[in-house]
Amino acid sequence: MTGTARPFGDLLREWRQRRRLSQLDLAAEAEISQRHLSFVESGRASPSREMVLHLADQLAVPLRERNVLLTAAGFAPVFSARPLSDNSLRAARDAIDLVLAGHMPYPALAVDRHWQLVAANKSVGYLLEGADAQLLQPPVNVLRLSLHPAGLGTRIVNYAEWRGHVLARLKRQIEASADPGLIKLFAELKDYAVPADARPFIVAGPDDFGGVIIPFRLKVKSDVLSFLSTTTVFGTPIDITLSELAIESFFPADKATAEAMRRIAGEVDGN
């Protein structure tokens, strides 16, 4: 939707429908009359700048797309998209580095809205050994690298489960953002061939903690490492770049993985 010249009312209606809200629902949440909302969507009434931002907030529209809504309504964009190297984002960069370093000896990485790698700690590099060099050329797409047969795909022990998790998460992001880049990535990942020896998808199997969570299980040399993952985002960002950054942290799912990562970290530091 970014860069569209479509009328504001059409865009607003699409976001409302994407959120599965009726005009009455949105009007109630925004504390305006349904009649006024109907006029705004049809183009019979022009919203103020404050109303555009208010409605976008009620619909949880991403900051990047709020600028699109503002432009469509005849106003200048208000949300900046500074590069992470900008001096004004130094505190954010320091925070990312602190989290990644503090998570050692376990893997952690930062990604942007399209799952392109922004930063990673040393432990991530160990997991990527053997991946095709082309997949490691910047910009590195983390999801492509993880599922591609020439990436980590053939080494993921529970490939079917992990693939299902990745695609479901990506689909939720697409539903929330309507991002064309994510739509294209989803189509690409979905077309990857499933390894011939991958076990069938099992909703609750012996390796997913009784159906509570699906671990990421990866063969690395002589080890089979099992991780639980968490996602961290910046709270209340008003910069587009920060709003689209996420830190993915992997924790050992069992004692053997914890011991292996401590051993590996010691070997890396020793070198």
Note the pLDDT tens digit of each residue in 89-120. Answer: 999 999 999 999 999 999 999 999 999 999 99
Cα–Cα distance, 124 to 136 (Å, whole number)? 12
**Can you read off the two tokens belonging to residue 254?**
């069992």
- Please report which confidence band the pLDDT of residue 235 belongs to, taking 50, 70 and 90 as the band edges: very high
The model carries a pTM of 0.86
Stated length of the chain: 271
Q: Which residue has the higher pLDDT, 129 or 142?
A: 142
218, 195 Cβ separation under 8 angstroms: no
